[in-house]
Structure 1
Amino acid sequence: MASQTHFVDGHLITRPPYFDGTNYQYWKNKMSIRLEANSYEMWDCIARGPYKVLVRDKNNKLVPKDPASYDDADRKRLQINAQAKNALFCALHPSEYDRISACESAKEMWDKLQVAYEGTNEVKKSKISMLVKKYELFKMKSDEDIKDMFTRFTKITNELKLFDRVLPKEDKVRKIPRSLPKSWCSIKTTIEEAHDLSAMTVDMLQGKLFTPFKSSSKDESDSDEEDDEEFVLLAQKFKRLLRKDKLKNQGQQKKNYKSSKGKGESSKKDEIICYKCKKVGHIKFECPNNDEKSLKAKKKKKAMVATWSYSEDSSSSKEESGMEAHICLMANVSWQMMTQMREVSRKN
């Protein structure tokens, strides 16, 4: 079943707006429109009244006219005043009725309520001054959108209008762009360059500003969705990289283990025992117990090894250093074999 939309009931056309002592400005505006809609003469009776039938006496003073002397025009004016009074009585709470029950004209009733809730002229001037200050310092708040800003702006200008302070249309239109924050600078400049603000109304300007705001809100929403998708893809890639790195580390650990094991075995093989003194760490040729000839041969061998080592690059890696040591060892063994062969040939 489709959901039903609920609307708040409006006021009846045949019933005047009710005033219970609260929100006077709201009631005053609605009541004035109500009186104009019923009969413009009723509102004119309040705005320009009071309607009293008067005549001049012998001393040229205005005095109430004798009812017996009323003509049709006099009766019509009195009837309009009575209709306006009746409309006001029907719209007031009993406590407000007591305030104006003794008034003879609709104009007197209206003015009495106005003084009670708007104050005297001095109070009205003070309120107007406060509203003007609000208008001059008006700025868009950080937590509101264009619609809320215009609602707040319109409320201030309408309240000023109720106090008979009507602001020029062009002044209001030029005030709004100045009230926008720096983030709206590009949009504001575009509108000012593309349109004549003196020919625009506040509603037209609101439409011009609301369109890019709506578009930017949609773009931000789309951008957020794209960012979410990119974040998911990035998380998946990062997860795969972590898994790959983990497998790589495991393989490297196995390789290092085998390598260290092989080095341990080779180090055992590299332990050399001297055949002359039977001590570990050197060969017979390098034995300190050798005679003078052997020492000379030893020095000659070291010079040859030094020359060979000098030809190598000084920035060799550990692996190259290991190979150099291995070559030197082979040279030592070869030199020892040649020395032994010479000794054998001499004896023979």
Structure 2
Amino acid sequence: MDSDKYLEGQSMQRPPLFESDSFIYWKNRFETYVKSKDLDLWHVITNGDFQPIVQNPETKLDEVIPFEKQTDDLKKRLAKNNEAKMVIYNALPRKEYERIFMCNTAKEIWKTLLITHQGNSQVKDNKIDLLVQQYEQFVISKDESIDSAFARFNTIITSLKALDEGYSSKNYVRKFLRALHPKWRAKVTAIEESKDLTSLSLDELIGNLKAQGKNLVMKMCFEFRCEDEEYAKASDSGEEDDEKVKDETCLVAHASSEVCSESSYFSDENSSIDDLALDNEYDKLCKMSLKIITKNKRLKATRNSLENELRELLRAFSLRY
């Protein structure tokens, strides 16, 4: 919303502007803002106004302290009541202010906002049930990037926390691992073997998954190149004049080399790559590996066939002469 929709008299450092469509998001930001400014203000908003009351030592009853007998410290404390109301006012557009202007205390204002936009206890419980269901059924598709999956997952757990519901950090980590597509199985196993999941944070897990993906792609490319070089050497040591064998070897070597060299993942101009692009590169290498394996099998069959023919020719020649 535009700044002219704010109430007049607000300070330069405004609290987060109220968002009815994203109430939980605003609520968390507003709470953090108030606590960062003054914890007493948040106490007033959630627990009610400070009262100028003292217990009469004779009657043991609470009595209101007249203004003229209030100490400066007490007056400063009582001023928190109006400060708390003002910080809420400064966060609300005029339409929302008209809804709560009859409230006498910051606590009443806050309760009205919660009931209006978050619902009563029954509505809150229904929202929690829905979020818990989303959490339990959370899965990551084959083509979804880690960043996208983490954003969805984080929205669910943040919403649960805002409703005073949630799971442990250890549970978040294990749930995210279980939600991954089977294509991530090798990476998950590597993380489980190298990390202590009881102390691993969700942010650390995301970083490790990205690192595992990068290492796996580089390792696969390296293995392909090494395998191609071995086949090339084996061909050169044998029937050097057989053009078919040479052509097969060169084709296989060129195929894997082309994937690795032309991949944007290994380009100096694109040293950083998003997770979806990384998955695409990984899938490309997997498909190419099948082609390379097939060509290698054909190469072996060709070499074996030529060796058998050569042996038969030598045998026939020796018998004849």
Q: Same fold (TM over 0.5)?
A: yes
Q: Distance in 2 between matches of 1:42 and 1:21?
A: 22
Q: 1:198 is paired with a residue of what secondary structure?
A: coil
Answer whether contact 2:41 2:83 (CA < 8 A) is retained. Answer: yes
Alignment match, 2:163: 163
Alignment match, 1:206: 206
**Cα drift, residue 172 of structure 1:** 0.9
Note if 1:94 corresponds to 2:72: no
5+ long unaligned stretches in structure 2: 1-10, 218-276, 292-321
Alignment match, 1:46: 45
Q: Distance in 2 between matches of 1:187 and 1:204?
A: 14
Q: Distance in 2 between matches of 1:84 and 1:78?
A: 10
Note if 1:73 corresponds to 2:73: yes
Answer whether contact 2:143 2:279 (CA < 8 A) is retained. Answer: no
Q: Distance in 2 between matches of 1:133 and 1:86?
A: 38
Answer whether contact 1:147 1:210 (CA < 8 A) is retained. Answer: no
**Cα drift, residue 222 of structure 1:** 8.7
Once superposed, what is the RMSD of the aligned Cα atoms? 3.0
Deviations 1:231-269 (A, max 9, x none): xxxxxxxxxxxxxxxxxxxxxxxxxxxxxxxxxxxxxxx
Letter in 2 for 1:137: Q
Q: Please list, as runs of the form range in 1=range in 2, the aligned pairs for 1:263-278 lying within 5 A after superposition.
A: none
Q: Distance in 1 between matches of 2:53 and 2:166?
A: 35
Q: Which has the higher contact order (CA 8 A, sep 6+)?
A: 2
Q: Please list, as runs of the form range in 1=range in 2, the aligned pairs for 1:1-348 lying within 5 A after superposition.
A: 14-19=13-18, 21-55=20-54, 62=62, 64-214=64-214, 216=217, 217-218=277-278, 221=281
Answer whether contact 2:142 2:183 (CA < 8 A) is retained. Answer: no
Q: Distance in 1 between matches of 2:12 and 2:147?
A: 29
Q: 1:22 is paired with a residue of what secondary structure?
A: helix
**Cα drift, residue 210 of structure 1:** 1.4
User: Aligned residues, how many?
Assistant: 219
Q: Distance in 2 between matches of 1:153 and 1:32?
A: 22
Residues 99 and 56 of structure 1: CA distance in aligned 2, closer, same or farther (over 3 Å):
farther
Letter in 2 for 1:113: L
Answer whether contact 1:19 1:27 (CA < 8 A) is retained. Answer: yes
Letter in 2 for 1:206: I
Letter in 1 for 2:85: K
Q: 1:141 is paired with a residue of what secondary structure?
A: coil
Letter in 2 for 1:88: I
Normalised to the residue count of structure 2, the TM-score between the two structures is: 0.61
5+ long unaligned stretches in structure 1: 1-11, 231-348
Residues 151 and 214 of structure 1: CA distance in aligned 2, closer, same or farther (over 3 Å):
farther
Q: 2:13 is paired with a residue of what secondary structure?
A: coil
Q: Which shifted more, 16-25 or 80-89? A: 16-25
Decide which structure has the larger Cα Rg and report it. Answer: 1
Residues 223 and 65 of structure 1: CA distance in aligned 2, closer, same or farther (over 3 Å):
closer
What percent of counterpart residues are identical?
32
**Cα drift, residue 157 of structure 1:** 0.7
Q: Distance in 2 between matches of 1:19 and 1:62?
A: 38
Letter in 2 for 1:37: S
